[in-house]
């Protein structure tokens, strides 16, 4: 009889886990050792990492390719500002509340956009985001089309300059690391098994008794809530919301999609690698303005055509790498 | 009477939306491709028309003689060079590649033509109108609507009465069997995209005569076209015209209540129809 062992970790994955924990500990202490421009950049990195991880969960695993996630980013920001301005809610407390409200909003929205299949779902979700943007532009109490800044009285609730910058950074870190951990945990669980099965074949997973419609619905609502929490945080980073910026398809969806595609869709590592590539490109090429966006669009097309599984997918297939394993590996001993 | 006038203007604008939508409907029908760059291609056609007019001093509508073949050739090359490589069972590649294309077109146009908004001058055509019994019909909107009807009738004729249309329908029904019968699927798709961009050229020139345009107008036009297709029902070109008209009327009524509600009213009409009739008003095929 053949002997075999079953494992879901490797030396690489244990090292990666250790490095991730050390990195996290170093970052938690960052407000004491880093400059405020570093905190700002790292906060933005965490935001994009979280958005990319969530979009990847939706599109990479359940085929729900949304081009309308900016709807929830903007919604989160607007809810946070409304709660803080009209009800005097502490801005930090407003973040989870924004997630809750967004989950409630996502229920009827899902009921509508889920009527559209495949690529039409993508554009339908975009229409939804446009509806949100146009409604926000009508909200005169929140500045209408030109938006509104958070008054100094509210920002003071976050403490002095150092404490405010530090707490916004910690919140970004918590959301970024939290989303990553949540998605990793989710994918290693029973639901993750279902999601991976759906990713690989919808027909086969239906035949195994997975209720695809229900899983997709639940996931869409979860991702909407988390995306709105990130949107709430973004509004605190910028201390301002306006319809065009808060519901920007380029900033909150196009770049996120490029990050996931370039890094590798349908993997945990892909969005991480993609975010690193995106920030490197931005640091070196942002001075070129429109040329930089031309380059980003071209890179996404080239990656999609040459290596559809992205940079990480290509490397993983070639070298068998896996830093955050969600599956099991069987090793036979004869 | 004012209400009748608003509805009438809405119907005529619906013709333009049907022109935005007809190409989208055609390529979805033939190859199930949803092209996110569709709106940006409309804007590209407007800029090409602007350049053609600069070079030849032709009036805008006459410039179509050059713009239509240029766009069609571009469509053929685009399909053969890039989009054909993305077509397979998977939904993601064509969507993402056309999304990348959209960003490239927007920023390419921005780099060449700056963000200034432009307009094509069609002279008296823009202001001429016919009035009767308190109603007034602009010559340009009327011409736009008539063009939409003519384009859709022509596409319909092509689809059901010509060899090319037969090839389109066969490939749409079952691409593999069509290939066994000697059709080259890649070439059929390229012809469909060429035809689509020919229609896009007409839409782009009318857009540029009717209003100002800039490099970032594309996504909005894509969304109007998409709404018209879904309202009308997939696979039905006359339905698409009806969808455009419904969208135009809804926007007109919205604008009459409050100018800020114009676009929103169109989206709301679309969502209502999606809620009541998810497959559109006159569906002929499944998504």
Tell me what the pLDDT averaged over chain A comes to: 88
CATH code: domain of residue B115: 1.10.3470
Determine the average pLDDT of the residues in B13-36: 91
The alpha carbon of residue A317 is apart from the nearest alpha carbon of chain B, in Å, by 19
Determine the average pLDDT of the residues in B267-273: 92
The pLDDT of residue A137 is 92
Q: Which of B96, B259, B260 to mutate to test the interface with A (most CBs of A within 10 A)?
A: B96
Determine the average pLDDT of the residues in B162-166: 90
* pLDDT (tens digit per residue) in A168-226: 999 999 999 999 999 988 988 888 888 888 877 878 888 888 888 888 899 999 999 99
Kindly state whether residue B286 falls inside one of the protein's structural domains. no
Nearest CA in chain A to B258: A138
pLDDT over 80 at A6, yes or no: no
Kindly state whether residue B111 falls inside one of the protein's structural domains. yes
The pLDDT of residue A334 is 64
The pLDDT of residue B178 is 85
Nearest CA in chain A to B81: A305
pLDDT over 80 at A42, yes or no: yes
What's the pLDDT band for B286 if we cut at 50, 70, 90? low
Do residues B274 and A112 touch, judged by C-beta distance below 8 A?
A: yes
- Structurally, chain A folds into a number of domains equal to 1
Cβ contact, residue pair A293, B274, below 8 Å: no
What's the pLDDT band for A134 if we cut at 50, 70, 90? very high
The ipTM value here is 0.88
B274 chain-A contacts, CB cut-off 8 A: 112, 115-116, 124
CATH code: domain of residue A203: 1.10.3470
Kindly state whether residue B216 falls inside one of the protein's structural domains. yes
A270 touches chain B (CB under 8 A): no
Nearest CA in chain A to B222: A123
The alpha carbon of residue B238 is apart from the nearest alpha carbon of chain A, in Å, by 20
Cβ contact, residue pair B104, A258, below 8 Å: no
pLDDT over 90 at A119, yes or no: no
Tell me what the pLDDT averaged over chain B comes to: 90
CA distance B53 to B46: 11
Q: Which of B100, B111, B271 is opposite residue A291, by nearest beta carbon?
A: B111
Cβ contact, residue pair A135, B264, below 8 Å: yes
Nearest CA in chain A to B33: A119
Cβ contact, residue pair A298, B104, below 8 Å: yes
What is the domain extent for residue B252? 2-121+138-276
- Cα B194 versus chain centre, distance: 13
The pLDDT of residue B281 is 83
B263 chain-A contacts, CB cut-off 8 A: 130, 134
* pLDDT (tens digit per residue) in A253-308: 989 999 999 999 888 889 999 999 999 988 888 777 778 888 889 999 999 888 88
pLDDT over 90 at A132, yes or no: yes
* pLDDT (tens digit per residue) in B175-202: 888 888 888 888 999 999 999 999 999 9
pLDDT over 90 at A96, yes or no: yes
pLDDT over 70 at B31, yes or no: yes
CA distance B261 to B257: 7
Determine the average pLDDT of the residues in A65-94: 93
pLDDT over 80 at B254, yes or no: yes
Kindly state whether residue B132 falls inside one of the protein's structural domains. no
The pLDDT of residue A21 is 87
pLDDT over 70 at A1, yes or no: no
Burial class (CB in 10 A: 0-12, 13-18, 19+), A318: exposed
What is the domain extent for residue A67? 3-333
- Structurally, chain B folds into a number of domains equal to 1
């Amino acid at each position: 009889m053949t002997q075999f062992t079953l494992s879901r970790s490797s030396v690489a994955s244990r090292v990666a886990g250790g490095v991730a924990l050390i990195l996290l500990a170093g970052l938690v202490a960052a407000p004491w050792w880093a400059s405020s421009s570093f905190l700002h950049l790292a906060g933005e990195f965490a935001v994009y990492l979280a958005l990319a991880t969530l979009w990847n969960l939706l599109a990479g695993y359940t085929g729900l390719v949304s081009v309308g996630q900016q709807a929830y980013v903007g919604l989160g920001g607007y809810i946070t500002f409304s709660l803080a301005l009209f009800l005097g809610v502490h801005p930090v407390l407003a973040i989870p509340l924004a997630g809750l409200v967004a989950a409630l909003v996502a229920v009827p929205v899902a009921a509508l956009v889920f009527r559209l299949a495949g690529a039409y779902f993508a554009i339908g979700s975009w229409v939804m985001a446009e509806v949100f943007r146009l409604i926000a532009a009508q909200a005169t109490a929140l500045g209408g089309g030109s938006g509104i800044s958070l008054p100094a009285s509210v920002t003071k609730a976050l403490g002095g300059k150092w404490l405010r910058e530090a707490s916004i950074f910690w919140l970004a870190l918590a959301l970024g690391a939290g989303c990553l951990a949540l998605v990793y945990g989710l994918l290693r669980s029973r639901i993750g098994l279902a999601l991976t099965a759906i990713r690989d074949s919808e027909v086969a997973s239906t035949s195994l008794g997975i209720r695809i419609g229900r899983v997709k619905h639940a996931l869409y609502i979860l991702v909407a809530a988390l995306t709105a929490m990130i949107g709430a945080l973004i509004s605190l980073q910028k201390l301002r919301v306006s319809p065009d910026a808060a519901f920007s398809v380029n900033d909150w969806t196009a770049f996120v999609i490029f990050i996931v595609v370039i890094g590798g869709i349908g993997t945990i590592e892909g969005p991480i690698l993609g975010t690193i590539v995106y920030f490197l490109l931005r640091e070196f090429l942002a001075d070129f303005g429109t040329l930089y966006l031309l380059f980003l669009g071209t890179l996404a097309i080239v990656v999609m055509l040459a290596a559809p599984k992205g940079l990480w997918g290509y490397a993983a297939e070639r070298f068998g790498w896996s830093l955050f394993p969600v599956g099991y590996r069987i090793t036979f001993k004869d | 009477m004012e209400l009748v006038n608003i509805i009438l203007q809405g119907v005529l604008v619906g013709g333009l939306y049907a022109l935005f939508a007809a190409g989208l409907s055609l390529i979805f029908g033939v190859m199930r491709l949803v092209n996110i760059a569709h709106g940006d291609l409309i804007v590209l056609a407007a800029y090409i028309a602007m350049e053609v007019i600069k070079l030849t001093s032709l009036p805008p509508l006459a410039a179509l003689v050059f713009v239509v073949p240029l766009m069609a050739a571009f469509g053929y090359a685009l399909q053969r060079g890039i989009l054909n490589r993305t077509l397979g069972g998977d939904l993601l590649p064509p969507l993402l590649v056309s999304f990348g294309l959209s960003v490239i077109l927007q920023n390419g146009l921005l780099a060449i033509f700056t963000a200034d908004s432009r307009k094509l001058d069609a002279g008296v055509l823009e202001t001429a109108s016919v009035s009767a019994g308190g109603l007034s019909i602009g010559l340009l909107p009327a011409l736009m609507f008539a063009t939409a009807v003519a384009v859709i009738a022509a596409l319909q004729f092509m689809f059901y009465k010509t060899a090319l249309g037969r090839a389109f329908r066969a490939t749409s029904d079952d691409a593999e069997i069509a290939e066994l019968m000697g059709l080259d699927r890649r070439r059929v798709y390229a012809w469909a995209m060429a035809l689509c961009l020919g229609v896009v050229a007409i839409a782009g020139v009318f857009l540029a005569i009717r209003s100002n345009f800039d490099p970032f107008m594309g996504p909005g036009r894509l969304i109007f076209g998409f709404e018209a297709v879904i309202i009308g029902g997939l696979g039905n070109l006359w339905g698409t015209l009806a969808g455009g008209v419904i969208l135009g009327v809804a926007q007109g009524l919205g604008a009459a209540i409050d100018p800020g509600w114009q676009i929103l009213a169109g989206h709301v009409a679309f969502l209502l129809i999606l809620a009541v009739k998810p497959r559109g008003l006159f569906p002929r095929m499944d998504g």
